[in-house]
Amino acid sequence: MSLSSQSTAVAAGARALVRQCDRAMLSTAQADDGGWPYGSLVMTACDYEGRPIMLLSDLAEHSKNLKQDARISLLFDATDGLEDPLAGARVTVMGRAVLTKTLTDRARYLARHPASAVYADFADFKFYSLEVTRVHQVAGFGKIDWISAEAFPCEISQMTEFSAGEVQIIEKLNRESMDEESLYGRISLVLAGGNWGFTGIDPEGCDLRAGGRVRRIPFDKPVTNLADALDALKELAGRTTTA
């Protein structure tokens, strides 16, 4: 069943918020206390389709809960700094947390959270992906929508190409960031500036980090491969230069 342009736009807005956040409030059912809701802070990344990825320790309370009930929700909050946070946007992603050994999931998470590389290979730490069942978006007062599992992911046909070349492009962008004579250097300097480093590129934009701060640069429209992603970055850089 095809999605309406309105529902597609709503889903894209929810994905954009989830992608821009690097953390969320994880709610699990307390395993040893009758299923009471238990909330905890977790760091997140996203796969190319926009599904959240987490790195969790088996010793954490939420991981113990997951062994009994894999159903969770993740609240992504983009209201920081607003005078009235309730007028801001937030998204709750509901689904089942499943173990993932996909190398791309691991690589994208570690790029988003480089400090986690210190403990990512500890025996008690495992990567999880979220099998989305439903999404709830509040985009402000009166702007409330439920989004189905089918509508939420970003669907593109060439995910394997992103996986094969993303790391190389990110490395070049960051390595040449101070070389204004190179193509990658011009893009990096214009879009990111001297303090920001690129951490990921996906079909809908790119992610950056500067210390504890994160930033998202969205593309005007989704791209289907890395060549188009690079063209989108060049276009954004050119527009920023002439603005």
Q: Judge if 116 and 15 occupy the same domain.
A: yes
Is the domain of 104 the same as that of 194? no
Q: Is residue 154 a part of any domain in this protein? A: no
Count: domains in the chain: 2
Residue 189 lies in a domain: yes
Q: Which pTM does this prediction carry? A: 0.91
CB atoms within 10 A of CB 9: 11
My answer on whether 24 and 125 are in the same domain is yes
What is the pLDDT at residue 157? 64
Task: Output the pLDDT for position 105.
Answer: 95
Looking from the CA of 223 toward its CB, the CA atoms found within 13 Å total: 21
Q: What is the CATH number of the domain that holds 170?
A: 3.20.180.10
Residues of the chain with pLDDT under 50: 1-2
Q: Given this model, what pLDDT does residue 5 score?
A: 61
In the listed set 115, 148, 181, which residue is the last one of a domain according to the structure?
148
Domain final residue pick, 123, 148, 173 = 148
102 domain-assigned = yes
pLDDT of 25 reads 98
pLDDT for the residue 3: 55
Task: Identify the pLDDT of residue 219.
Answer: 92
Phi-psi region of 35 (alpha: psi -120 to 50; beta: other; left: phi over 0): left
CB neighbours (10 Å) of residue 221? 10
132 occurs within a structural domain: yes
Same domain? 127 vs 22: yes
- In the prediction, which pLDDT does 69 show? 96
CB 8 within 8 A of CB 151: yes
Domain span at residue 217 reads 159-242
CATH number at residue 18: 2.30.110.10
pLDDT at 1: 39
Residues 17-70 pLDDT 10s: 999 999 999 999 998 888 899 999 999 999 999 999 999 999 999 999 999 999
Q: Rounded to an integer, what distance in angstroms lies between the CA atom of residue 106 and that of residue 104?
A: 5
